[in-house]
Amino acid sequence: MLRRLCAGFLILAAMAALILAGLWLSRHWCLAELGAYLVVDQPPERSGAIVAVSGSQERRQWAVELYRRGYADRLIFNVSDTTYYFGMPIDPVESIMQMASAAGIPRDSLLINPGISSTWEDARATRETVLKLGLRSILVVSSPFNMRRVCLTYKHRLGDLPLKMTFCSVPFEREKLSPESWWSRERELQMVVDEYIKIVFYEFKYFH
């Protein structure tokens, strides 16, 4: 009896060791897949407007680039309140106006929604703008690791409208991100962990 118990224990221990070894050997693949899940990047299509989700400057720059490539005749920027850089106030609306002017974008092609503090508010503001302008299609721009939550939120808030939504991520190189080794750098590690936490939070607070 004791011999059988010992044999069973050894078999279970060997199986556990094999599983742990497999997980260890495949850890890079597993981590890469965790990052890849957050990325939604569809080919850009001609749309009624390009929407830059509130956040990094790279999102606004990529939205402008897609506008200049002819994917839409209108740009919608969702932006936060005034921020501070080394103690100096930065007005995001003024910053966008300067960027658009430098890019030769007509003022009447711009629409700015200020005071955005979350992706949920971002989608709400976009919904109001879509209804106001009677849009039938939008091209949504955000950061790669942020796009899964953006996609889920926009579909939840705008999914009942007769609206085609295309989700285009900022290229990884423009945001200096790496999908293959995000866990090895603190900034990217924090991004990915934060996104998973926020997806769970949104699931409980908003999606049900």
Residue 126 lies in a domain: yes
Residue 15 lies in a domain: no
Residue 48 lies in a domain: yes
Beta strands per DSSP E along the chain: 49-52, 75-78, 83-85, 88-90, 110-113, 137-142, 164-169
Distance of CA 106 to the CA centre of its chain: 27
Q: What's the CA gap between 136 and 147, in Å, rounded?
A: 21
- Non-local CB neighbours of 198 within 8 Å, separated by 6+ positions: 119, 149
The number of distinct structural domains making up the chain is 1
Residue 208 lies in a domain: no
CATH of the domain at 155: 3.40.50.620
Residue 18 lies in a domain: no
Q: What is this structure's pTM?
A: 0.84
Can you give the pLDDT at residue 179?
82
Residue 51 lies in a domain: yes
Residue 75 lies in a domain: yes
- Non-local CB neighbours of 94 within 8 Å, separated by 6+ positions: none
Residue range of the domain that includes 163: 41-174
Tens place of pLDDT per residue across the chain (208 aa): 556 555 555 555 554 444 444 444 456 778 889 999 999 999 999 999 999 999 888 999 999 999 999 999 999 999 987 565 555 666 778 888 888 888 888 989 999 999 899 999 999 999 999 999 999 999 999 999 999 999 999 999 999 999 999 999 999 999 988 888 888 889 999 999 999 999 999 999 998 7
Residue 12 lies in a domain: no
Nearest by Cα to 143 from 171, 115, 181: 171
